Structure formats: structure tokens, C-alpha cells
Amino acid sequence: MKKILVANRGEIAIRVMRTAKKMGIKTVTVYSTIDRHSPHVKYADEAVLIGEAPSNQSYLLGDKIIEVAKAQNADAIHPGYGFLSENAEFAELCEANDIIFIGPKSHAIKIMGSKLAAKDAVKAYDIPMVPGTAEAISDIPEAKEIAKKIGFPILIKASAGGGGKGMRIVENESQFESQMDRAISEAVNAFGDGSVFIEKYVTSPRHIEIQVMADTHGNYIHLFERECSIQRRHQKVVEEAPSSVLTPKLRHEMGEAAIRVAKACDYIGAGTVEFLLDDDLNFYFLEMNTRLQVEHPVSEIITKTDLVELQIRVARGEVLPYTQDDIKIHGHAMELRVYAEDPLNDFLPSVGTLETYTMPQGEGIRVDNGFEQGMDIPIYYDPMISKLITFGKTRDEAMSLMLEAIDNYHIEGIETTLPFGTFVFEHDAFRSGHFDTHFVKKYYSAEHLLEQHKKEARIAALIAVNAYVKAQKLLRVPQ
């Protein structure tokens, strides 16, 4: 493997290319017209314009990306995450054109791309699952009867869904029909597939995922868990590894369960098995993500591994260089996704120019970044600017360093989730480890953040006044 095409943009494109260069592999990237001057274009050895700004005219053009790969003599394609990373047809297209797809085989993507197919695939592997329907359902009266048998509250979920789309919590029978209609409609609009299913709603759950890796020689390992319970609109914002609530026994059980899920679909490469954890520390299979996750850095840091390097080595047909016994947990890592969103306005996207953009630096701080000062934030893509990651010997140390890093991350011209990060990492519930996926709903509001801003402004004003008074006293001292 001498040359890899990275079919993505921003921080993940740079992240993949950094490892490729370290391994002595040349890189090609593609870009849209609006990304012409983006850092990932400058970082690549070669860059090719792929189309206009909208992703369906550029980064989602599988046929065109294959053409570029062949024209540039790329041996392999790394899809990053998002865009074509979980597109089974694109993986098949790579295979048909003798280009290595750095990811799982298309059949694994297909199975795990449907939540119902995934449940069906793992049911013979002794994987705990939330009580619910085993197949898609659209008959509302029949669905209501099933929901009554399962017991409210229940969750209606799109089979082809993700990111919280096509998902509805139903607290009681009277809400059922309207929420079912909405879930089906949203699923059709988002995925072109109105298939939904019903599950018992796990109250106060934690979202725990296990990183797995498998090679083509039948070897499987897991790299422990990530805690991903701090979410807004069912989207993760803060992640950490390891989780503060898993015991060694539970960690082992969940890791083994994740490997069984991977084996259920003959998985190859890096993947993530997601679980819900209830109040009594019972865990339930949620889904499998057949790609590198946004939050993979925290797993890399605590296990001292490079997951992209492992992906590339597996894609080249190499045997995994580690056994399960080789993988140990070292310290604690935290990640904050820095989004161009306004936490004072329901996390709506914030569009503008990065008038000031200075990233924090120092030991234990890592920033996976895709922007630079003076750039505009495009409206066409996910609004994530970067990922701020900190590492410490302990959880408290990682949190303390995170707060320091946020203070030293200077962004002007747009609103970002940095102040929200401060709110989370200073909050007693998060610091104690006693929180769940309802953290934002329970504790966060724009008013809380405004009050925090006012408090900080008052402190800054007092410091300024104190400094002024001291300066005046010094000026009055007779010479």
C-alpha cells in the first residue's frame, strides 16, 4: 500500500493522513469548491477537486471518488466517518475496482446498518437486548397493542436511523399514535425508509460503547469502553475513557459481548459496539457503528495505540500486533467536540468567520483540528470545528486540564460549544460521575450559562478594579 485516498474533509482527513505519512504512505484527498483552501487540502500530498459545495455534489459522489483514486494510482480509500464511511455500495464499488476499502466488508456494513438486521444477527450470540419488537412494524393499532404489552414508557426507533432521527419517546398510551406517525414521517424524510420498531425505554441510561478491532486472520480484540452519555439531541458532545462506573468484571463482560457482536457479522477492522447501561448496571446491545468513531482519540490515548494505523495494517492483510492481554488502561482521557453552535440558542449552527482562532497547547492536550484563523464555517457540512482532548493520570487530572485547555482555546467571530464544555466539566453531577444521557435535560439551560458568564464577568471586573486601585496607590507613593 503506497498511496491512500482519503474520502473526507476537515479534522478526520488530516487525522488519517497524519498516520499514513508516519507509515511512509502517500496521501491523496478530494475537496469541494468551498473547501479549496482548507487545511486538509494543504496537508495532502495530492488534492483533487471533486465538485460543488453540497455533499451530494462532492463528498458523496462514490463513482467520481473511485475515478480519482484510479487516476491518482491510489491503492486504498479511507472513508473517515460520515459521508461514505458506512455505505455498503461504496465498499462494494471499491472491491469491484480492485481498490482496498479501509473498513469492514460490505456485508457487515449492510447487517449493522439496519438496527433490526443487527438484532437478528446477534440474537444467537447471547447478547443482552432491550425488550421490543423483532421486526419492523407500521400498523399503528397493532403497534399500540405491542407497546402496551412491553409497558410504557417505550421508544419508537427508525430501523435505518441514527443521530436521533426517527426516534420518539412515548410516555403513555394517549401519545402513541401521534408519535408513531411522526417517527415514521421523520424516518422517511431522513433515510428514505419508514421502517420503525419498538423497544422498552430504559430510563436514566448511560451510553457506553466498546471499541473493537478485528483482522482477516480471525483475531478479535477490544480496547475497552468510552463513556458517551453527555449528549444534546441524541448527539454526543463529551466523551471519556474509561467510564467512571464500570467495574473490572462488568468491563470484561461488555468487552466480550462486543467481540461476540463483531463475530456475528464476520467483522474486519475498527468498529464500535454501543450499549445502554441501566441504573442496576445491566447492559443492553444498542447498535454497531461500522467505522472509526469521532471519539476514537480517547481510546487511543488510554491504550497507547493508533487506531488508524491498525486499520491500515488490517486492510493490508497483516495480523493484529496485539492480543487482548497486551491491551491495558493507562490513565484517563476526556474529549469535547467543539461545534460551531450557539449553546445560548438551543445549539443552533453558528455561521461566520473565524476572526480569532488560537488552539491550546501543552503536555496532555491534543487538538484534532480542521480549521484555521480567517476561514469561514461552511453551512453545508457538520458544524464540528475540532475535537479537544486531554489526558491525565486520573479522571480529576484530565478534567482539570480540560478546563484549562478550554480557557486557552480562543475563538472569535462565531459561537461555539466551548462555554457548554466549561459548564459540563464544572458541574457536580459530571465531576462525581453520577450522570446519564439526560444530563443536558436535567441540568443545562441557557439561563445557567448566562449566569455563569455574568459571574465570570463580575470576577473579571473585580480583578480589574483591584489592579487599578493597586496601581493608583503605587502612583501616589512619594518618590
| Residues involved in catalysis | 291
C-alpha cell at 459: 470576577
Residue 285 CA to residue 208 CA, distance in Å, equals: 10
Report CA Rg, the chain.
24
Between CA 104 and CA 264 the distance in angstroms is 13
Residue 83 to residue 62: CA distance in whole angstroms: 10
CA distances for 304 relative to 19, 223, 333, 383, angstroms: 14, 10, 11, 29
In degrees and rounded to multiples of 5, residue 81 shows phi and psi of: -130, 160
Residues 332 and 392: beta-carbon distance below 8 Å = yes
CA distance 332 to 384: 23
The alpha carbon torsion through 37, 38, 40, 41 (nearest 10 deg) reads: -20
The answer to whether residues 236 and 293 touch, using CB atoms and an 8 Å cutoff, is no
71: number of CA atoms within 13 Å, CB side?
14
Dihedral (CA of 168, 170, 171, 177) sign: positive
CA angle (236, 396, 460) in 5-degree steps: 85
Backbone dihedral angles phi then psi of residue 53, each to the nearest 5 degrees: -60, -45
Q: In whole angstroms, what separates CA 66 from the centre of its chain?
A: 26
Rounded CA gap, 38 and 31, in Å? Answer: 9
The dihedral sign for the CA sequence 443, 449, 455, 460: positive
Distance CA 94, CA 77 (A): 8
CA distance 58 to 78: 16
Residue 289 and residue 248: Cα distance in Å, rounded? 24
